[in-house]
Amino acid sequence: MSSYAWILKVRPGYEEEYKHRHDELWPEMDAALRASGLKSYHIFRHGLDLFGYFETDNLQTTIDFLKDDPVNAKWSEYMAPIMEVDIDSSTGFPFLLPKQWSLDQ
C-alpha cells in the first residue's frame, strides 16, 4: 500500500458548500471511490486550501478507473463551479505531491 497527497482550492465563498456536498456524498460516488482501490481517503481544509491524502495498492489502476468512471465524471462536473482544480495532463488526475518524509510505525 502506497500513500499519496494532493492540494486543490475551494473558490472563495464556497467553503460551506464544499463541506455540505461532501457531507452528502452520493452513495454511487462513495462506491466508485472504493471500487477504484482508494483506501484511507481523507480531505482536510485550511482556509481555501484543500489537502487530500489517500492510499492505494496501485495508483495507475486507481487513476484509470476514476478517469473512465461516469459517476466520477458527473461528480467532477458538479464540483467544478466551486473548486479550482489543477490537473496533471500526463495522468488526467490532480498533481500528486512527492513524499518528503514519513514516520512509520
> CATH code at 8?
3.30.70.100
As a whole number, the mean pLDDT across the chain is 94
Active site residues: 22
Is 41 inside a domain boundary? Answer: yes
Is 86 inside a domain boundary? Answer: yes
Domain span at residue 27 reads 2-94
State how far the Cα of 83 lies from the Cα of 79, in Å rounded to an integer.
Answer: 6
pLDDT at residue 38 is higher than 90 = yes
Q: How many domains are there within the chain? A: 1
What is the pLDDT confidence band of residue 89, given thresholds at 50, 70 and 90? confident
Is 99 inside a domain boundary? Answer: no
Is 56 inside a domain boundary? Answer: yes
Is 103 inside a domain boundary? Answer: no
Extended strands (E) in the chain: 2-10, 39-46, 49-56, 83-84, 87-88, 93-94
Residues 6+ apart with CB under 8 A from 25: none
Are 93 and 69 a contacting pair, CB within 8 Å?
no
Question: Could you count the other beta carbons within 10 Å of the beta carbon of residue 2?
Answer: 10
Instruction: Give per-residue pLDDT as tens, 41-88.
Output: 999 999 999 999 999 999 999 999 999 999 999 999 999 999 999 888
